[in-house]
Structure formats: C-alpha cells, structure tokens
Structure 1
Amino acid sequence: MTSNEHGLTRRRFAAGMVAALSAGGLARKVRAEVPQPAIDTHAHVFHRGLKLAPGRRYAPDYDAPLALYLQQLDQNGITNGVLVQPSFLGTDNSYLVECLKATNGRLRGIAVVDPAVAADELRALDRAGVAGIRLNLVGQTLPDLTSAEWTALLAQIRALDWQVEIQRNATDLATLAPTLLDQGVKVVLDHFALPDPKLGIDDPGFQAVLKLGATRNVWVKISAPYRNGPNGEAFAKQAYPLLRNAYGVDRLLWGSDWPHTQFESVQSYAKNRKFLDELVTDADERARVLASPRALFRF
C-alpha cells in the first residue's frame, strides 16, 4: 500500500470515528430530551348517552368526553392519564375501553367489575389497558373481602398484576387494606385516604393508614383535596409530609380528579395542577411524584 493509500485509509478511519461519536452524541442528546413522564392517575370520562347504573347516588347532567380530557392533559403538560370508571356507570366498562383503545397507550384504565366477573372479561380488559379495579365504597355496605367470591376475584387480580383502588373513609381503609394485602394484591387509596374532615391528620384512621406505608404494597393518591372538607387544601399540606415520610415519594400518586364531579363550579384541571406546585414545592420531588405511577400502571 502506498503512503497516499495509507493516508486515505487513516482519513477514512478518522472520519468514521467522528461520525460514530457524533451519532452516539446525538443519540445521547435525543435520549436526554425525551420528556420525563408526568402522569395524572385519576380522571373520569363520560357522556349523557351512556347507560346509567341502577342505584347510583349521583349522575352528572353534562358531558366529559375523551377529547376534552386529552385537551386538559396537553394544556397542563401532562404526558399520560388514568381513566377511572365512574361509579354511576356501574360495571359497563365499554366506554372506558373504547377511550383506552383510541389513545394508543397514552392512557390506562381502572375498571369496576362484579365479583363474579368471568376470567375472559378480565383478560380482555387487561389487553385494552386496564390496570386494576375500583371499589368505590362511599355510602355502601362493606363487602366481605374474605368470602369465596371475593377471594376468587382477588386471586385473578393478583395473577394479572393489577391493583385494587379503594375509596372509603380512613377508619375503614385501615381494616380493608390489610385484608387485601393478605391476599397478595396491590392497594391504592383514593384522595388522601379521606380522614374525618373534623380531625384531619389527627384522625386515628389516618394515623393507621400511615403505618401501611411500611408494607411497600400500598399507594396513596394525593388528589382532590376538596373531597376532604372545606379546609381540604390546608389538610393536604399537613398530610403530604406525613405521607411522604411514611410511604416515600414513589408511593404517592397525583390525580386531577377531572372533571371534579359535584365540585365542577369551584374546581378546574389547571387549579388542581397548580395546587400540586404548592403541595410539593421542590421541583425535582414534584417531577418524581408525577413520574412515579409509571410502573404501577404499566406505562
């Protein structure tokens, strides 16, 4: 090989190395610019054409369609959301599934099912993007979660690696959650665990809920402070550091509670997102809270 050929080879090698390094740097830059997930873990979608469940406590007189919810996400810098089946729609999860399929993985769902639901239906919900079931027990008779029917359902929930989300006052959650944990399922508690508004963080039920953090299999939604009485925001600011210390940032889940049913006139998506900034003042910690639901909801 002549000296000229050697020189050409060296120049080609050097050019190749520069290209490779540039490509690697570009790849690193692209990876660095991928936005960290910001996940809203609690919202509802519905419209007035849907069949309502018998025995419902409430039904809205307006529409909260998927397109409007996605608009809220986009306007508030939220990358992903979780649709929770509204109680007034009962166990007909068809609109929920329709919305999940329409968004190509941007959203996950929490369904409401009958304890005797068929395994095939649960698997179909799983394929659609459902990640758990909801027990809205406000105003309801408490179910016997140790009965044969419930233990069979919870075994299927465990096999699917789903969660069980509960809305109930803190005193009852303190006994319901351990029953679920004994059956090996992940538990999510709604709306700061709903202590007695008159007692707030001093509610013995709330204090018992704090102890559940040690299980590392319970999560708490820091959502809808207004559902904790007229002083809900002040309570939330007292509760957050206690919950953070008991559960860790990775077990706290922010939710908008959009469209804020029964509080529509005084709440908005932007207001609730802004309150998160007041609640979690450290930007890095807030980013961790917004990203923490990723694994639980399988994004």
Structure 2
Amino acid sequence: MTKDYMPFHASPRKPRFSAPAGAVDAHCHVFGPAAQFPFAPERKYTPVDASKEKLFALRDHLGLLRNVIVQATCHGADNAALVDALDAADGLARGVAVVNADVTDAELRALDAAGVRGVRFNFVKRLVDDTPRDVFKAIAARVNALGWHIVVYFEAPDLPDLIPFLSELPGVIVVDHMGRPDVTAGVQSEGFKLFQSFMADNPNIWVKVSCPERLTVAGPPYDDVVPFARTLVERFPDRVLWGTDWPHPNMKSHMPDDGELVDTIPRVAPTEALQRALLVDNPMRLYWPEEPVK
C-alpha cells in the first residue's frame, strides 16, 4: 500500500470569507488515531492520524458550525472511529458510513441512532476493489428504508457506464467532488456536459463542489477548478454541497490550506443567497431535516 501521503496543513490561516451562521462542512473525515481505531488491513493507503478533536478545532477556526463526516476507505467498513466522532459532536455532526453486504439490521439501526444518514459507494479503482453492483443495489434498498441517501465517488471517464446503474438506485444520490471532471478540458467539454445532463435528467442527484486541490492542474488558488464549481452552483442551487475534505488523504502534489479553501466559496457561490443554500439550507435539509433552519 502507498505510504507517500502528505500530512495535513499544521496551521491553516483564518479565512477572509465569513461563512453564514450555521454553515456546514459537508465532506470531511476522521482517521484513527490508529492506536485506538486501527486502519483496515485491505486499505490501499495509510493516512496520518486525524482525530475528532483536530477536526472540531478546525471547524471552529474556519467559522463553521457543523460537520458531515464521511467514512474513508482506509477504515474499510469498520465505522468505529466515525461513530466515536459523532458521539462526541453533541449533535453538530452527521455521518456517511461504509457497510458490507453482511451488515445486520441491528448494526444499521445503531449507525442511524449515532447520526449516520448516508452510505458511500466507491468506484475509484485505485482506492477499492470492485464490488458487484447487485451488492450495492441490495444495500441501497436497505438504507433507503432508513431514510438514508447514497454518496458515490467515481472519476469522470466512468460516468457513461455508471449512469444506467445510478439511475436505478432509490432516493437521493450525492456525487463526490463534482464527479472528478478533467479541468484541462474546460467547462464546455463533453464530459462535463454529460455530468450536467445527468443531474438535469435526475432531480434526485446532488453534487459536492469540493476538492479543488484534487482536481487542479494550475494549483492554488484553483482558477482552473472554480468555473466548474460555479457552473454547478448556479445551475443546481438547491442540490449542491461544499466540504473541506480535511485531512486531505492521499495528496501528493500539495497540501491545501483549509482557510484558502473556504475563501474559494464566494468565487463559486457569488451571492449571499447561493452561499446560504450551499452552506446551510441544503446540508440542513439533507442531514438535519428535523431541525428548523434559522
């Protein structure tokens, strides 16, 4: 497994952009600490420890209120670190889990009680081994009964093959990181047009306008990625989410400053109404529907 990861930024700057009250980081992770929550033997990479305490301190430093913590492949289907973080969050975090086909109904109910509201299906071959799609369909049906949604992670070349399968899944589907478009091809590229058409044809498809640091070729301040995110925010304002992706696992080119990532928000959501939808209204509707948005 690869071990050439980079540690997360030790002292991100304070953002210049002030997020609206109640803002949500809708895509972040906790890793370990490995001594307490060992990483999965089948993992493809080994990250640095990234504790819940550091995540919550970063949240406060960035001027955000809530987190959606996503289970990453390095912990496999052992969601113990995720549940531990949710338990410590005092209601200010929700989770997206990874489960196997043999997960029991009791285990799903326990995850739901802990604050899990979604399950993640990963199709990125360098990160996970292939899972039969019938397995994903069976899991999707079970979690849909709990009111959960599905988060999918794939790369743009895989979208044409995935569209028929994803169109059959029940409930809301959230696409990670804009479907990882090829930013060198531009927003008018056929691949990005296909992704937009997929969203337009399927009103249950949401998208995270996250991870410019993974998509960029130019590097910070991510001028090559901003037009893609802004296009999605402006075209689908009620189905977009934003997140830091802290602690940015498996990065090899550069480690982003999370304060700088927050400062991309007004560039992709240029009005207060779009910023509020992106950071507050949409994530609250998906993850905290029981709470009134103030």
- 8 Å CA contact 1:244, 1:252 repeated in 2: yes
Deviation at 1:141, TM superposition (A): 5.1
Deviation at 1:257, TM superposition (A): 0.7
Q: Output aligned runs, 1:185-204, within 5 Å.
A: 185-204=171-190
Deviation at 1:249, TM superposition (A): 1.1
Unaligned segments of structure 1, at least 5 residues: 1-34
- 8 Å CA contact 1:222, 1:254 repeated in 2: yes
- 8 Å CA contact 2:24, 2:279 repeated in 1: yes
Q: Helix, strand or coil for the counterpart of 2:275?
A: helix
In structure 2, the residue matched to 1:101 is: 87
Q: Helix, strand or coil for the counterpart of 1:242?
A: helix
Task: Indicate the structure with greater helix content.
Answer: 1
CA distance 1:121–1:203, shift in 2 (3 Å):
farther
Deviations 1:14-43 (A, max 9, x none): xxxxxxxxxxxxxxxxxxxxx742111111
| Structure of greater Rg | 1
- 8 Å CA contact 1:40, 1:81 repeated in 2: yes
TM-score where L is the length of structure 2: 0.81
**Aligned-pair Cα RMSD in Å:** 2.1
Q: Which is further off, 161-170 or 223-232?
A: 223-232
In structure 2, the residue matched to 1:63 is: 49
Cα distance in structure 1, aligned partners of 2:206 and 2:229 = 13
Kindly provide the amino acid, as one letter, of the partner of residue 46 in structure 2. A
CA distance 1:78–1:102, shift in 2 (3 Å):
same
Deviation at 1:174, TM superposition (A): 4.1
- 8 Å CA contact 1:195, 1:203 repeated in 2: no
In structure 2, the residue matched to 1:41 is: 26
Matched, 1:117 2:103: yes
CA distance 1:205–1:117, shift in 2 (3 Å):
farther
Q: Which is further off, 86-95 or 258-267?
A: 258-267
- 8 Å CA contact 1:167, 1:189 repeated in 2: yes
Matched, 1:182 2:172: no
Percent of aligned pairs with the same amino acid: 33
Unaligned segments of structure 2, at least 5 residues: 1-19, 290-294
Aligned partner of 2:148 among 155, 162, 169: 162
In structure 1, the residue matched to 2:287 is: 297
In structure 1, the residue matched to 2:209 is: 222
In structure 1, the residue matched to 2:3 is: none
Deviation at 1:118, TM superposition (A): 1.5
Matched, 1:252 2:237: no
Higher relative contact order (CA 8 A, sep 6+): 2
Deviation at 1:178, TM superposition (A): 4.1
Q: Helix, strand or coil for the counterpart of 1:82?
A: strand
Cα distance in structure 2, aligned partners of 1:105 and 1:126 = 13
Kindly provide the amino acid, as one letter, of the partner of residue 238 in structure 2. D
Deviation at 1:78, TM superposition (A): 0.7
Kindly provide the amino acid, as one letter, of the partner of residue 156 in structure 2. A
Kindly provide the amino acid, as one letter, of the partner of residue 136 in structure 1. N
TM-score where L is the length of structure 1: 0.80
Kindly provide the amino acid, as one letter, of the partner of residue 239 in structure 2. R
Deviations 1:108-148 (A, max 9, x none): 00111112321221111111100111122222455332x2x
Matched, 1:272 2:257: no
- 8 Å CA contact 1:201, 1:235 repeated in 2: no
- 8 Å CA contact 2:217, 2:224 repeated in 1: no
In structure 1, the residue matched to 2:13 is: none
Matched, 1:52 2:24: no
- 8 Å CA contact 1:174, 1:205 repeated in 2: no
Give the total of aligned pairs: 261
In structure 2, the residue matched to 1:133 is: 119
Cα distance in structure 2, aligned partners of 1:103 and 1:151 = 31
Deviations 1:83-130 (A, max 9, x none): 111211111101110110111210000111112321221111111100
Deviation at 1:234, TM superposition (A): 2.5
- 8 Å CA contact 1:174, 1:209 repeated in 2: no
Cα distance in structure 2, aligned partners of 1:190 and 1:40 = 13
